[in-house]
Structure 1
Amino acid sequence: MAADPTSTSRLLVGHQQDRFNDGGARGLVGVISSDAGSSWTNSIPTGVTKCTGGAFRRASDPWVDFAQDGTAFFMSLVLDPMKPTTPFGARNSGMLVSRSVDHGASWQAPVTLVRTNSPHALNDKNSLTADPTANGYVYAVWDQLSVFPPSQAGDQLIAGNDGVEIARQLRTAAAGGAPSFKFNFTGPSFFSRSINNGVTWSTAVPIYQPGTNAQTIDNIVRVLPDGTLRDFFTAIGVTASGLSIGYITSTDKGASWSAPTFANDISVVRVVTPDTGQPIRDASILYSVAVNPVTGAIYLAWQDDRFSTATCTTPTGSIPIDGIVFSESDNGGATWSAPVMINKTPANATNPCRQQAFIPAVVASGDGNTVVVTYYDFRNDTNTPAGFEGTDYFALFCPTSSACTSSANWGNEQRLTTASFNILNAPVAGDHFLGDYMGLTASGPTTVYPVFGVATGLNVTSEFTRQISGLP
């Protein structure tokens, strides 16, 4: 989700439509509101997948943003599904950026940033950032998984077109688990930029190489108030912990990049449904990051089980309980506060699995006075009737006049769902799937808008928003 800097009432959302269970969707949809979210109209970029006049059979990972002058951008991961004999991913994948000069009402033909026609590579997990300090500069980042040497048919068992699910399997092997493949892999961070508001783009290049049998995922560029760029990512198989949030820095608008710095480790297993123990496609190898537009403080929120004091019993054993943790840097990322668990999910002695919280998003208000984090949990689940595993979405707030590095200063929690929904109805795409991340954006000084998925019927997820205004 993105808010137009030229009009605080104009919002743009990107989502998938007709998701396949093995990765990608039939198409991506833009939805625009010009009245602060009261009404919405489809605004679908053309030339992306075959159903919109494009060349590719599937698309995924929509990402939207606005430049300071109101130019809108819509980034799409495109792919043709894999053949059974390919090592992983797509035999044809790429990254496209669509541009709108009428604030998202209509879209120009997309520009191709990268196209890889290979059974041994997959471009994945993209994001796009329009520079809030320099109109015209736009940054696109993603990871590119590749195999070396190219494996032969039958050399592997990893399958699918979904980079997150592939990364989970590769992470298990990198952590010492039994690999189901015989090849080596790597997943560097790739980068392309525009200096003319998306009319043309630079040649895509790797900006961070994690090494053999290691990768990045969830690359996101954030811009500090002084114009410095930070490309954040999850590093898999790079640090001793095996799973860390890192970043690289550019002080020249992406022309060159520093060596990596690692901000925090991630300690996580995975969330399951609270009564039947079915696995959920959560954010357990991902994170959310935001920059305070006034102070430059950087905020990280992610799923983590390091504070677990109880266990969730599943049909296959017990697992620790995930919460939402937060860490902050007040010096541009040089040092970070110790992680603290901030979600307010109550303890549940009857069923500790109902204490799990997952898929966080974080943003700072436009005036810099409030940090907002959103997340799901199961506190209202009663398994009544049997087979209804109740799930809700919440927002939590911390005034920056207090220390957000203390969990006690997070409060004023708001329930964003009007009624609990059944997580078992969520479509299965590598487990029950609401989305890898949820939208959360600031518009104006004291208003934020979340976008969150709700399972509204069997195998149907709908997206909802509601205005959160009057922040302290």
Structure 2
Amino acid sequence: MKEFFLALLLLLIGSIAVAQQSRPVMMPSVNRAKLPPNLRNLPLHRLSSGALMLLNRDDNLVLPPRSITAAKGETTTEEAASAPVALDLRIGPNIRLGNDSSALPSNMRAQAEPHIARATTNEDFLVGVFQEGRFASGGGAVDCGYSVSHDGGLTWTRALIPNLTQTSGGPYFRATDPVVAFDLNNNVYLETLVATDPQFISGAVVLSKSTNGGATFASPVVAYRPGSISFFPDKEWMAVNTFPGTATAGRLLVTFSLFSNINSDGAPIRRVYSDNGGATWSSASAISTETTLQGSQPLYLPNGNCVVVYWNFGTSQQPGERLEAVISTDGGQSFGSPHVITFATEYNEPLIRTGSFLPSAAADRTTQNVYVVYQTLLGGNPRIAFIKSTNGGTTWSAPVAISDNPPGLGVFNPAINVSSDARTVTVAFYDHRNNPGSNVLVDLYLAQSFDGGANWQPNIRLTSISTNASLAPLTFQGYMLGDYLGVAQTTRPTVPAVPIWVDTRSGNPDPFITRAGIAPYADLVLAWEAA
């Protein structure tokens, strides 16, 4: 019964319905007096399932249901996706990243929350990572998997991360929030958040490393585990300093929000780092004195500085939701005071769980530029917004809408990457524009700039058939395609960007990629080569 109330609560709270009629439904309320003081005004859709269960450990958070109003059209009935369409010549075929592992339970084959990266010095070497067997309740997945390509994304080899959860021979009970990164030597690191107990009330951040091109991975190493089950790390992310000659070249840095149900510290973002390839890790330290933070995105710049971008929910003393950045001049050892990037209005989907508080950030290998995208409301309409710093995160441009979706139609889960020379900026995101009458049918779209973000090309559709999110697991916060997706950067005109997303065309959520050519003026030969 507790999970039923929580499911209703987080599916409906914070939902935004644009220009729809209403109908009555039943939704539980929250006894916010039971929350830590700094979390009492925080909309609960911003928490992972694990963090919510931590806060509700004593079963006193959720109160009996009350009648509220929800949007008409929020139906769980499956909707038929449109027939396949021909895509732009610059877009390659949509490719499924291999088959589901036979080790997964037959009724737990849904993938979610994909991420992808390209090797530092080998443009043909790509690795994708994703949840395997997403749970509908309680948070996380049966395991996390990965897929490796050595031909630029044309073919893939897929497996479960070995020795992670009990499904793959490991000690942990569930896994979630997978992220992939490469170091200077093209070693691969798969980072995940794992459940250290069956209920996912306590968790740890672990990394699995491959030194042979993704052929095998060593058993995961713990980067951070709280000293008490009253603390829960959430939404971890990873960056690697891949700039030779800088003081901390090779450093791995992991950031995460840390929730607690016993004090009033709110949710600060902390960091740990490793200078020996992930073998051992530093103690955790806060990157800021602020404590209502989520969605950290750490980056290294060519001068060795480390920048962390995140969402600040604001407090009564400092009201207003905003994106902020902190800068470290010693490679992540310490950080300066926060710089406000922009104030922002959060946008949430009516039925689909999204990463509404998760910005996506990138840096090139030539300048001190930092590039950020996020989902928001601009002029009252859902938009993907882009913002840029040209001085290492100190000052920022004004937000610019880079999604050209029709007014009132949702866009969400943007992911950004940028070419090494700072010219080509690539953003992928989910979009409802091809199915304006549906809250569950979406496509993946591309926004690209060829001058570092000064001007943007018209959006291009990436998926040949719409994805039906109602085929994904129905979690506390909505249908689970994932809180984020990813895009591997282009390196030169004939090396396409590679977005990764979750797609349901097979009847089940699966990880897919495509190869997106980058030149708007490309002739047929260049388009064929890129695709």
Q: TM class, shorter-chain normalised?
A: 0.7 to 0.9
After TM superposition, the structure 1 = structure 2 runs for residues 303-382 of structure 1, keeping only pairs within 5 Å, are: 303-308=375-380, 321-347=381-407, 352=408, 355-381=409-435
Alignment coverage as a number of residue pairs? 396
Contact 1:59–1:76 (Cα < 8 Å) also in 2: yes
The AA in structure 1 aligned to 2:442 is T
TM-score (normalizing by structure 1): 0.79
The AA in structure 2 aligned to 1:203 is S
Secondary structure, counterpart of 1:281 in structure 2: coil
Contact 2:242–2:250 (Cα < 8 Å) also in 1: no
2:15 maps to which residue?
A: none
Q: 236, 255, 275: which one pairs with 1:141?
A: 255
The AA in structure 2 aligned to 1:142 is F
Write out per-residue CA displacement over residues 26-65 of structure 1, whole angstroms, 9 at most, x where no aligned residue. 1011111111111111243322211122222111001111
The AA in structure 2 aligned to 1:398 is S
C-alpha separation in 1, matches of 2:512 and 2:155: 12
1:262 maps to which residue?
A: 340
Is 1:414 aligned to residue 463 of structure 2? no
The AA in structure 2 aligned to 1:15 is F
Contact 1:9–1:33 (Cα < 8 Å) also in 2: yes
C-alpha separation in 1, matches of 2:332 and 2:368: 19
Contact 1:136–1:198 (Cα < 8 Å) also in 2: no
Is 1:425 aligned to residue 503 of structure 2? no
C-alpha separation in 2, matches of 1:204 and 1:46: 26
Contact 1:365–1:448 (Cα < 8 Å) also in 2: no
The AA in structure 2 aligned to 1:299 is Y
Secondary structure, counterpart of 1:208 in structure 2: coil
Contact 2:231–2:261 (Cα < 8 Å) also in 1: yes
2:59 maps to which residue?
A: none
Q: CA deviation at 1:240?
A: 3.7
Secondary structure, counterpart of 1:116 in structure 2: coil
The AA in structure 2 aligned to 1:122 is F
Is 1:217 aligned to residue 217 of structure 2? no
1:111 maps to which residue?
A: 221
TM-score (normalizing by structure 2): 0.70
Q: 267, 275, 282: which one pairs with 1:202?
A: 282
Q: Which deviates more, 198-207 or 365-374? A: 198-207
C-alpha separation in 2, matches of 1:15 and 1:267: 28
Q: CA deviation at 1:131?
A: 0.9
Spell out structure 1 runs of 4+ moving beyond 4 A: 80-83
After TM superposition, the structure 1 = structure 2 runs for residues 51-66 of structure 1, keeping only pairs within 5 Å, are: 51-66=167-182
Contact 2:466–2:505 (Cα < 8 Å) also in 1: no
C-alpha separation in 2, matches of 1:45 and 1:60: 12
C-alpha separation in 1, matches of 2:155 and 2:432: 29
2:125 maps to which residue?
A: 10
Q: 489, 506, 519: which one pairs with 1:442?
A: 489
> Which 5+ residue runs of structure 2 have no aligned equivalent?
1-115, 521-531
Q: 492, 500, 517: which one pairs with 1:451?
A: 500
Write out per-residue CA displacement over residues 63-116 of structure 1, whole angstroms, 9 at most, x where no aligned residue. 111112111101110114676xxxxxx432101111111122211121112223
C-alpha separation in 2, matches of 1:65 and 1:389: 31
Residues 457 and 265 (structure 1), Cα distance of their counterparts in 2 relative to 1, 3 Å cut: farther
Q: CA deviation at 1:136?
A: 2.2
Contact 1:190–1:204 (Cα < 8 Å) also in 2: yes
Q: CA deviation at 1:388?
A: 8.8
Return the structure number with greater strand share: 1
Contact 2:176–2:193 (Cα < 8 Å) also in 1: yes
Secondary structure, counterpart of 2:258 in structure 1: strand
1:315 maps to which residue?
A: none
Write out per-residue CA displacement over residues 225-259 of structure 1, whole angstroms, 9 at most, x where no aligned residue. 21110112112235744422112211111222212
Residues 269 and 7 (structure 1), Cα distance of their counterparts in 2 relative to 1, 3 Å cut: closer
After TM superposition, the structure 1 = structure 2 runs for residues 40-51 of structure 1, keeping only pairs within 5 Å, are: 40-51=156-167
C-alpha separation in 2, matches of 1:457 and 1:388: 20
C-alpha separation in 2, matches of 1:396 and 1:412: 7
Is 1:302 aligned to residue 374 of structure 2? yes
Contact 2:307–2:392 (Cα < 8 Å) also in 1: no
Write out per-residue CA displacement over residues 289-325 of structure 1, whole angstroms, 9 at most, x where no aligned residue. 11132222211111111322xxxxxxxxxxxx31111
Secondary structure, counterpart of 2:326 in structure 1: strand
What's the Cα RMSD here? Answer: 2.1
C-alpha separation in 1, matches of 2:371 and 2:410: 22
